[in-house]
Amino acid sequence: MLAAFTEKQRIPFPLLSDIDSEVIRRYGILNTQIKPDDGFFYGIPFPGAYVTDGDGRVIAKFFHDTYKIRDSAELLIDAALGRVTLAEGAPKAASPDGDVKVSAVLHGGQGTLRQGIRRSVVVRFELGDGLHIYGEPVPGGMVATTVAVTGPPGLVVEQAILPPTKPLVLAGMDVTLQVWSGTVDIVVPIYPTSELASEVRPLDSNNATIEVAVRYQACDSDACLLPQSARFALTVPIDVTEVPAIDVHMGHGQREGAYDGNPHFKRLIARKSKKLEDWMKTDG
Amino acid sequence: MSLNRDEFGFDAPVPLGHPIRSGLPDGQSTGPEIGDRLPDFVLPDASGTDIAFHADRGTAKAVLLFYRSAVW
């Protein structure tokens, strides 16, 4: 039935079938909280993703304490490419400020929020030639770059992910500064919990306003501009969850799958029950 | 509905405590770590064709994603 799913969902990458969870076990990610006689769902993994380099070595991993948090494809792609690629039409607020442009973008998933889907607010600085902004630690009197993101109740905001700084030693100074220059992306992962968007009831609200407060100070090798504060507000649509068209998920106001999943579900349960019977006979 | 909401703030159409809602226990490993080469494997795709992971990947970067079900 992967063929039906692939076709109906228009999935352009291979979906592989690990029928007996052999690869899941080999990778060490079998969900061992589930016992064989708990039911048809025995054998599922702890869900997550690995991103590899060209040699097949892991460069990033995305696993979470709860299976309800899933990473936006854009986060996986950014990890693979080693840079943030912002979509043209993403919700964005910008303050054009001459030598320093600052913008805040809701990155991923065509700019919508859905239960448990981990997207990010990206604060992008575009610094003119010769200018830099500061990471910690900053000497007294200087202002480090900070980003604070707040949203409605139910929006979880994770700690900002800062790119690596470069050390800068100014002539005549005895201190090493940590700086960023050029285009600098600060990534703040966010996701809604069910308080904001729940898969068991229609949405309470169709939009969320996310506030982004940025503070920074730009300098060149001779002089510093005054520290700046910028505030942005992004109003983004909240979307329902996509659920398979099987009875347990239907009628909750979510976006139900394009084809009747019940026959597939029944076949799966039958196949797994038969397997369990066989397993119990041979294992004793 | 809040009766069904777990400690992470998520709802599901299944009672709390059901094993299908289980997550990662503390200290649980999540498999290969950063720097490890992913173990190779051969599995059939949706058309039944066997795919050998590293051979199929060639020299390209890859995302390998494990999910729970395409059915439920």
Let me know if residue A206 belongs to a domain: yes
- A63 forms beta bridges with A48
Please tell me the predicted confidence (pLDDT) of residue A97: 66
pLDDT tens-digit readout, A72-102: 999 999 999 999 999 999 999 999 768 899 9
Question: How far from B9 is each of A68, A101, A242, B5, CA to CA, in Å?
Answer: 10, 37, 18, 6
Binary contact (B23, A63; C-beta < 8 A): no
Cβ-defined contact of A65 to B4 (cutoff 8 Å): no
Residue A283, pLDDT score? 56
Identify whether A107 is part of a domain: yes
| pLDDT per position as a tens digit, A32-71 | 999 999 999 999 999 999 999 999 999 999 999 999 999 9
Flag whether A149 is in a domain. Answer: yes
Q: Which residues on adjacent β-strands are paired with residue A186?
A: A123
For residue range A200-216, what is the model confidence (pLDDT) as tens digits?
Answer: 999 999 999 999 999 99
Going by DSSP bridges, is the β-strand pair A242-245/A255-260 parallel, antiparallel, or unpaired?
parallel
Asked if residue A215 belongs to a domain, the reply is yes
H/E run at residue A4: helix A2-9
Q: Which DSSP string do the residues of A89-100 spell out, in sequence order? A: TS-EEEE--TTE
**B50 vs A: CB within 8 A:** no
The mean pLDDT of A167-174, rounded to a whole number, is 84
Is position A164 within any domain?
yes
pLDDT value at residue B43: 98
Q: Does B55 touch chain A (CB under 8 A)?
A: no
More confident: A68 or A10: A68
Does residue A183 carry a pLDDT above 60? yes
pLDDT of residue A259: 87
Contact across the interface for A200 and B14, Cβ inside 8 Å: no
- pLDDT at res. A94: 96
B44-72 pLDDT, tens digit per residue, is 999 999 999 999 999 999 999 999 998 99
Q: How far is A247 from chain B (nearest CA, A)?
A: 10
- Residue A21 in domain: no
CB within 8 Å of A65: residues ≥ 6 apart: B8, B23, B24
Question: What percent of chain B has a predicted confidence (pLDDT) above 70?
Answer: 97
Determine, for residues A23 and B41 on separate chains, whether the beta-carbon distance falls below 8 Å.
yes
How many domains are contained in chain A? 1
Say what the pLDDT of residue B17 is: 92
pLDDT tens digit string along A18-38? 999 999 999 999 999 999 999
Assess if residue A121 is contained within a domain: yes
What average pLDDT does the segment B6-22 reach? 96
Q: Are A34 and A276 in contact (CB under 8 A)?
A: no
Of the pLDDT bands very low, low, confident and very high (cuts 50, 70, 90), residue A272 is confident
**Could you tell me if residue A204 is inside a domain?**
yes
Instruction: With a cut of 50, say whether residue B1 has pLDDT above it.
Output: no
| Beta-carbon separation of A80 and B63 below 8 A | yes
Q: For A119-155, how does the pLDDT look when each residue is reduced to its tens digit (9 = 90+)?
A: 999 999 999 999 999 999 898 889 999 999 999 999 9
> What number is the average pLDDT over the span A2-12?
79
pLDDT recorded at residue A106: 98
Question: Domain of A97: which CATH number?
Answer: 2.60.40.1250
Q: Report the residue of chain B nearest A7, measured CA to CA.
A: B46
Segments forming the whole domain that contains residue A159: 85-242
Q: Which residues have CB under 8 Å from B27's CB, separation 6+?
A: none
Chain centroid to CA B39:
15
A233 pLDDT above the threshold of 60: yes
Query: Which residues in chain B have Cβ-Cβ distances shorter than 8 Å to A68?
Result: 6, 8, 10, 12
Q: Which of B50, B25, B18 is nearest to A19 (CA)?
A: B50
- Please say whether the dihedral angle defined by the alpha carbons of residues A190, A193, A196 and A197, taken in this order, is positive or negative: positive
